[in-house]
A and B are shown apart, each in its own frame.
Chain A
C-alpha cells in the first residue's frame, strides 16, 4: 500500500487516509492499487466493443492484429472511442444546462414556484443578447422568453447555436471552414453515436471533427446555458470569503454535505439549512446549528453565491463520510462514487440520492421535485437533523486543516475588478499583458485521479504558473485543491506570485488564483477570453492570446468534452493523463499537432505538473512574440534569463 503522503499532498486527506487504514476501510486509492496494473489496451485506446463481431484489440507492438474484424485500424478504433467520450461528457454538461433552463421556465410560469429570478440585471442583459423584447414587459415574461430560447438550443436542428455569436469572428470563421459550428446541442451528440456505430464514419479526422462539433455545443451551448441561467436564477456571483477543507466540519453541529453538480438542489438545501423550524429541531436534538459543506461542483456553485464552505474535492468524498460526523450526504448527478452507500453503512451517515437519473446502491432515495423544491429540501434536511443523535462522538475524527479563500470571480466582475466601478473595462487586463507585467493567463481545471498524488498536479502547476507571472483562472476540483492549498487568498500573491502579478494583486486586493466556479463555468473562461479579444490589442482571435489551459488530474469524460471545446476555441491545453489514444499514432498526431492549424489550439500530454507548466509558459511566450509584445516586465524564474536577455527581450 502506498503511503498516505504519496497518495495525497493535502494534510486533511493524509490524516483521513491514516484513519481509514486503521479502521480497515478501503477507499478509491486502495481500489486503484488493486486494479493495477491497468489494461494496456484500454490505456492506449485500441480495444473496440462497438459491435459483437468483436471485442477486438490491436497489438500496439505490431506483431498481432493490426485491424479489427471489420477492418478498423487503431486510428479508427481510438477515434470512435474518443468521440464517444466527448458525447458522454457533452451530454452530462448539457443535461445539467437543460435542467436549469427547465427551472427558469418553471419560475417564469408558475406563481407558486419556489425558485425566483434573483438577478434581473443579468436576465435583461441576456434578453437583449437573445433578442427577447424587454420594454414594458414583466420580469416573468422576459424570463419565459429567455428560457424558451435556451430550451430551443438543445433540440435545434439547423443554423448555429446562439451563444457561438459570443466567440470572436475569427474563431467562428475557423469553425465554419471546418464545418463544426454546432447546430443543436442534442443533435451533435446523437450524430456522434450514429457516426461511431458499426460501419458508418471510418475516417478518423472526420469522426474527430464531429467530436469537436459536439464539444463546441457543450462549451458554447449546454454548459454556457447552465452558467448563464444559473446566474439569472440564483444570482451572478460576487467576491465572497469562505473556507476550504474537511476542517470545516463541526463537532457540535449537524453536518450536511451536498455533493454533485446541479445548483437547483443545493440552492434549496442552503435555504432549508437556514430554516428556523429546522434550526429549532437541531437544537432540540442537541446540536448547536446546521453546518453545510460541499464536495465537487455543487460545492463551487453554493460557495460562489453564498459563501458555503468547501468540504473537499472529488477524492475526498469517501473521507468526508469517514470523519463520522456527517449526518447526511445529499447527492444529485455526476462524479458520485457508487462506493459511498457501502461505506456509509460503517457510519451513521445517510446517503440521500435525489435525482431520478442517478440512484446508488444502499442509498436512501428522496426524489427532488422542482415543483415542490423547498418542501423536498426541508424533508431531506430534517432527515439529517434527526440523524444527529446517532452520531458516535468516540468515533468522530475531524481533521483540523482548513484554509481561508476568496471566490466569486465571473466574466462580468472582471470589468469592475480591474477597471473599477466608474470605468468598468477589460482594458487594464489587456494592458497588464501588453506591458509584460502579466505574462499571460492560464486556465487550470479538472478532476482528481488516484493515478496522481491527490491535489499535487493542480497545486504544483498553479504555483509554478503564478510564480512566473501567469494569472490562473480555475474551476471545479482544481479550484478546490488550490483553495485548500491557500492559493486563493490575497496573501498568496506575496508568497507565491512573481513580482508583476504581485503588483496587480496588491493594487486590486485579489488573489493570484481566481475561482470562476463549477465545471460548467469553464464557459466563463471562454467569455473572458472573448472579451479580451474584443477589448483589442491582443490579436484577432482567442488563438492569438498569450493564454494556455491544463487539466493536470483529469479523469472524467466531461473533461474530454471540455478539452475539445477549449482547443477548438483556440487554446493550447496540457493534459496530465494522456487521452486514451496513444496506441493510434495518426490520431495522436491529429489532436496533438495538426488540429492547431484548423482551430489554433491543440493538446499536449505531460504528467509532471512542473514540466506541463513550462510547456504552457513556452506557449504563452511564443504567442507574446507573435504579437510583438515585450518580454516579462520583471525577471521570472522560468526560463532562467540573464539581465541582458531580459533587456533584449524588452527590446
Chain B
C-alpha cells in the first residue's frame, strides 16, 4: 500500500493461461465508461474504449497494456507534462486537459500500448484502474480474467512465482538429462 492507501503492484501476465477470450478488453471499456454498466455502456457517447488489447502471437494470445514503467519514456518525452508517474509501483497517468495530441508518447513507447482517444485528440492509455486500486480492488481487466492469466501482484510476489516456475522447469530438465545419461 502507498501512503495514500492505493494498492501497489504490477500486472503479471501468464501467456500460457490466456485463452484469448477478450473479456479483459470488454471489462476495460466498461470500467472506463460513464455508467460502468455493460448494457448501458453500449449506447454511451463518447464510446467507451478499451486500454488493453489482446494480440495474437502465432497460437498464443497475449493481453497487452501499459507496463507503467518506473523510468517511463512517455513521461520523459511529454513536453506538456500531461503524462505523470505517481510513484514507485504506482501508475503512469495522463492528464487529458494537458495533452496536445503530439503523439510522441506513442512513438517512444517500447510496447505500443499507448493509443488515441476515439476522437483522436488526446493520448489514451491504461490507468491501472486507479479508482479501483484506491478502494482496494483489482484492475477491471484482472477481475474479468476467467483463467487468471492476468494478475495484479507486488513485484516481489511475481518474482517468487517466476522462481518457482523456473525451479520446476530446471528439475524437469535435470531429470531428462539424467534419463539421457542412463540410456547412454
Contact = CB atoms under 8 A, between A and B. Distances in A.
Interface string B27-48: 1011000000011011000011
Given A40-B26, A41-B22, A64-B25, A582 B146 contact: no
Which bucket holds chain B's interface residue count? 10 to 19
Interface string B43-69: 000011110000000000000000000
A251 interface: no
A583 B22 contact: no
Contacts of A59: 22, 25
B21 interface: yes
A40 B38 contact: yes
B149 interface: no
B42 A37 contact: no
Main DSSP-derived SS at the B contact region: helix
Given A43-B38, A44-B38, A583-B42, A61 B50 contact: yes
Contacts of A22: none
Given A43-B38, A578-B39, A37 B50 contact: no
A60 B42 contact: yes
A422 to B, nearest CB: 54
Nearest to A585: B42
Nearest to A39: B23
B13 interface: no
B143 A37 contact: yes
A60 B26 CA distance: 8
Contacts of B143: 37
Interface residues of A, number: 17
B82 interface: no
Contacts of B41: 61
A39 B22 CA distance: 9
Contacts of A64: 22, 25
Contacts of A63: 49-50
B153 interface: no
Contacts of A61: 26, 29, 41-42, 47-50
Given A57-B22, A59-B25, A37 B47 contact: no
Nearest to A578: B39
Interface in A10-65: 37, 39-41, 43-44, 57, 59-64
Contacts of B27: 37, 40
Contact of A37 (B22, B23, B29, B48): B23
B144 interface: yes
A41 B42 contact: no
A40 B23 contact: yes
B42 A582 contact: yes
Interface in B144-171: 144, 146
Contacts of A37: 23, 27, 143-144
A317 to B, nearest CB: 26
A18 B25 CA distance: 37
A64 B53 CA distance: 9
A211 B42 CA distance: 26
A175 B117 CA distance: 48
Interface string B68-100: 000000000000000000000000000000000
Closest 10 interchain pairs by CB?
A40-B26, A61-B29, A37-B144, A582-B39, A40-B38, A39-B23, A61-B47, A60-B42, A61-B48, A62-B47
Given A37-B23, A43-B38, A61-B50, 7 more contacts: A40-B38, A40-B144, A41-B21, A44-B39, A61-B47, A63-B50, A582-B42
Interface of A: 37, 39-41, 43-44, 57, 59-64, 578, 582-583, 585
